[in-house]
A and B are shown apart, each in its own frame.
With several copies, the nearest count.
Chain A
Amino acid sequence: MNADQKAVSLLYFALLREQRGLSAESCSTTAATAGELYAELKEKHEFSLSRNDLRVSVNGDFVDFSQTIADGDEIVFLPPVAGG
């Protein structure tokens, strides 16, 4: 494993879950930030939602897309919400 390479857990909800076809996966990435990771995933899985539509959480907290990601992080890209 490359020094830049991290293993992260991803959870998917709503439209992203449908487009990915699964609700969780482990993934190996060299992306430095959450934003870079989404760009990677969007291309790989042909996600239709742009980064502007999403929020991101790392380890259960909302963070910015500039957040640095680390090995073992649980990362969730959140599609537009609609509670209530």
Chain B
Amino acid sequence: MFALSEEPLENIDLKGPLVRRDAGACVEFRGMVRDANQGKEVSSLEYQAYAGLAEKEGTKILKETTEKFEVLEARCLHRTGHLQIGDLAVWVGVVSVHRSDAFAACKYIIDELKQRLPIWKKEHYTNGDSGWIRSDSPSAPATGGDGEPSN
């Protein structure tokens, strides 16, 4: 299950559907808005998504994941809208019988979606500047990934 959410992910029972009697391992990834990037103080983050295509591509990534790895279930929610420091931007949860599959699958999902989802993020800095981040550049954005402002 992949979904975009305008609602804060903090208000959602993310893990509930991952509870299974046959699951031995659960790996979760959370990407949060952090207070600094590339030496600049970040004040907030804004996410835009091309919703229809993002949900299609997100669903495709999860389907690939269940084909590539031995997982029982994989889920991902991604925020849109204006986020503050500490807010949850993305959550990935995977359950499997054995732990190595859950780790590999969870990492695959977040790596792929950072490259492929039609979602854009703009960093707002405390000095008043702002910039769109690109995940294909070598340095790191404010949520634990890689990227730098594109303008």
Name A residues whose Cβ lies closer than 8 Å to a Cβ of B.
11, 13-15, 17, 48, 55, 57, 60-62, 76, 78-84
Contact = CB atoms under 8 A, between A and B. Distances in A.
Contacts of B50: 11, 13, 57, 76, 78
Interface stretch (B11-19, B64-72, B135-143): B135-143
Interface of B: 31, 48, 50, 52-54, 56-57, 78, 89-90, 99, 110, 113-122, 132-137, 141, 143-145, 147, 150-151
Contacts of B89: 84
A11 B51 CA distance: 11
Given A60-B56, A78-B50, A84 B31 contact: yes
B53 A76 contact: yes
Contact of B115 (A61, A76, A78, A81): A81
B118 A13 contact: yes
- Secondary structure dominating the interface of B: mixed
Given A14-B122, A15-B132, A76-B53, A83 B117 contact: yes
A76 B52 CA distance: 12
A81 B150 contact: no
Contacts, number: 84
Contact of B90 (A11, A62, A81, A83): A83
A84 B145 contact: yes
A60 B116 CA distance: 14
A80 B150 CA distance: 8
B53 A83 contact: no
A14 B57 CA distance: 18
A14 B119 CA distance: 9
Chain A CB within 10 Å — which of B56, B132, B137, B143 has the most?
Answer: B132
A79 B50 CA distance: 11
Nearest to A15: B132
A83 B78 contact: yes
Contacts of A17: 48
